[in-house]
Amino acid sequence: MWKLLWATGFSAASLGAAAQSSVTIGGTLDAGMRQVRNGSLGTDRSVVSGANSTSKLIVRANEDLGGGLSAGIYLDATILADTGGAGANTPAGQFWDRRSTVNLAHGKLGELRLGRDWVPTHLVWSGFDPFTTLGIASANSFRSFAGSRALGQAFGPLPDAQQANPTLRVSNAVEYFLPSDLGGLYGSVIKTAGERGTTAAGFTSGDGLRLGWSGRGFNVAAAQFTTRNAAGGESFKDLAYGLSYDFGVAKVNIAQRRWTFGPDKTVNTLVAATFPAGSGVVKLSWLQADQSGSDAVQNAKDANLLGLGYVYSFSKRTAVYGHAARVANKGTAAFAIPGGPPTSGVPNAPNYFGGQTSTAFEAGIRHDF
């Protein structure tokens, strides 16, 4: 009898412990067909990954420690759906490129998080972009080391695929997030350790914060992040802010992001809207890049983008989409939509693209699992 009671009690305790912790595996596969024409350089066609939602693998774990306290992990890795590869810009040895964090959270006190995570400016900027900074109409279309002098001067001449970029994610971070029951107020602070490394190798010495409020149809937010070990030891400043209002028949967003390094500045201005359409949504955006610097040539390197999209949802997990976009360069600016013929920043070179127009179309399928 005692053995039976002991076994029964142990089983109940085990079930209780299991109910207080969880591990989930999920993610997204998104693949599409893209066509990009870069002015006089011609047209390229390709199959691409993550144009509507990043193709990714996510592992999450959470444990209830009692008294409102919990602990958890979040692992998030890019998948290239078109090739089966891992991570578009992943350095050797880095699999969980998007996020790798461990945390302690309390319902009344907030959350402490450590690891690799998004910078607060990207969270604000992507939150106001109806394309969530993905695909051919992305609000990150002007986040180019070659096209933006402020970024290029701060982090070197290497192309984006070879460069760790602290305008997107950072490693070695310590973060604090406000609790979620503050009447719509949300925010966070972040500090990252450079660990005597370089930004090109992914070691960012920086700090920043984010603060916003959401309610009654409104969402307003602002964030800043300063990289203190950019080129030459000079600080690189990243600032983002925006406002949106949901009218019911349409949601309208206005946002701006500023990158400053010494005398060089790139100001990105976004005006966008989304319109519910049955089981789908129509997306419309206009993006302007206004560059300024120490010379007249730099001041004339501006560009704008028009983006249009439609996403039709078959269910909460499966959708099809179509996007169209057009980038118009001014002066000798050479911003181009990814996936087109190679461009050159060297005047009079055979593939010089400065001052021309880049247009693109894409359509694809997205499934969350």
Q: In this predicted structure, what is the pLDDT of residue 256?
A: 98
Contacts 24+ apart (CB under 8 A), 94-98: 94/202, 97/169, 98/54, 98/56, 98/169
**Owner of token pair 């349409």:** 250
Rounded to 5 degrees, φ, ψ at 12 are -65, -40
310 contact partners, CB below 8 Å, separation of at least 6: 277, 280, 281, 282, 283, 321, 322
Q: In this predicted structure, what is the pLDDT of residue 7?
A: 38
Instruction: Provide the residue-wise pLDDT of the chain in tens; the chain has 369 residues.
Output: 333 333 333 333 333 444 489 999 999 999 999 999 999 999 999 999 999 999 999 999 999 999 999 999 999 999 999 999 987 666 667 899 999 999 999 999 999 999 999 999 999 999 999 999 999 999 999 998 888 999 999 997 665 545 678 999 999 999 999 999 999 999 999 999 999 998 988 899 999 999 999 999 999 999 999 999 999 989 999 999 999 999 999 999 999 999 999 999 999 999 999 999 999 999 999 999 999 987 766 788 999 999 999 999 999 999 999 999 999 999 999 999 999 999 987 888 889 999 999 999 999 999 999
| Contact between 297 and 306 (Cβ < 8 Å) | no
Q: Tell me: domain 23-368, CATH 3.20.20.70, correct?
A: no
| DSSP notation for 230-276 | SGGG--EEEEEEEEEEE-SS-EEEEEEEEEEETTEEEEEEEEEEEEE
**pTM greater than 0.75:** yes
- Round to whole Å and give the CA distance between 102 and 116: 9
**Chain centroid offset of residue 311 CA:** 19
Which whole-number Å values give the CA distances from 359 to 34, 43, 137, 141, 242, in the listed order?
A: 11, 9, 10, 12, 27
219 contact partners, CB below 8 Å, separation of at least 6: 127, 128, 212, 213, 242, 243, 244, 245
Strand partners of residue 102: 73, 114
